């Protein structure tokens, strides 16, 4: 999978060198390119924002640098298939595990990280002439910009690419994969600071273990995330 990111803060993405994502890049499973939006400005101050038409608070990102940045990426990437543009925004559709799964099958993702009050709306329309466009939110709270949101999405998506996670069966037992929260886990010692591991897990009885884990999933989901059971 190829991933391009456009941002006015490329150093946010230095962290993609480490951890699982870093290993996937080293293995050639992931080809990530980070671009500085300001490289596509032509004035002395490298201006990327301006005041909003119609008035109001804050600044809006200008369309011209975005147009140039998106054109440059699309023309330099091998044209295997039209790319999917992702614009992180608290005004977007909600990002879930199924969104991550869907996006993990795309050959080319382009993340456009907005700052300030947002990006000129015509940029999204223009991107729509080059590929699919998704405005995606991580949840109902506000971040300062799309960088941290893009990082979260890149991690959630890239770990679903075949070959990324060492033991693929571990992916199936995670929270959200079956619509429920994950069951509690224990390891040795069997007794720690007066707290014992539940007996059933020491019983060696696989059927009863599976049944207990499913009950715990339901109980946790009911307590912490009743919305998932509706």
Q: Which residues bind ligand 6GU (CB under 6 A)?
A: 88-90, 136-139, 141-143, 145-146, 149
CB of 218 to ligand 6GU, least distance (A): 28
Nearer to ligand 6GU, 65 or 88 (CB): 88
**Residue 48: is it exposed, middle or buried by C-beta count within 10 angstroms (0-12/13-18/19+)?**
buried
Residues facing residue 87 across a β-bridge: 135
Short-list 29, 23, 20, CA closest to 1 = 29
- Give the β-pairing of 49-50 and 60-61: antiparallel
Nearer to ligand 6GU, 17 or 93 (CB): 93
Nearer to ligand 6GU, 30 or 138 (CB): 138
Angle subtended at Cα 182 by Cα 180 and Cα 185, rounded to the nearest 5 degrees: 160
CB of 142 to ligand 6GU, least distance (A): 5
Residue nearest ligand 6GU (C-beta atom): 88
Residue 194, by phi and psi: left (phi above 0), alpha (psi -120 to 50) or beta?
left
Nearer to ligand 6GU, 78 or 141 (CB): 141
CB of 48 to ligand 6GU, least distance (A): 16
């Amino acid at each position: 999978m190829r991933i391009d990111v456009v941002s006015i803060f490329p150093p946010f993405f230095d962290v993609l060198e480490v951890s699982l994502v870093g290993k996937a890049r080293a293995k050639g499973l992931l080809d990530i390119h980070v671009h500085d939006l300001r490289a596509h400005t032509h004035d002395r101050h490298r201006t990327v924002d301006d005041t909003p038409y119609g008035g109001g608070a804050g600044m809006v990102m200008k369309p011209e640098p975005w147009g140039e940045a998106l054109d440059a990426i699309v023309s330099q990437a091998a044209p295997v298939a039209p790319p999917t543009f992702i614009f992180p925004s608290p005004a977007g559709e909600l990002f879930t595990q199924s969104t991550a799964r869907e996006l993990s099958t795309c050959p080319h993702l382009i993340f456009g990280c907005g700052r300030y009050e947002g990006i000129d709306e015509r940029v999204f329309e223009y991107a729509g002439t080059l590929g699919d466009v998704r405005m995606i939110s991580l949840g109902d709270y506000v971040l300062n910009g799309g960088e941290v949101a893009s990082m979260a999405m890149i991690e959630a998506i890239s770990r679903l690419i075949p070959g990324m996670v060492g033991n693929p069966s571990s992916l199936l037992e995670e929270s959200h994969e079956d619509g429920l929260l994950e069951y509690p886990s224990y390891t040795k010692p069997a007794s720690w600071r007066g707290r014992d591991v539940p007996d059933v897990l020491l019983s060696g009885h696989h059927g009863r273990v599976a049944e207990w884990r499913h009950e715990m999933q339901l109980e946790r989901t009911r307590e912490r995330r009743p919305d998932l059971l509706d």
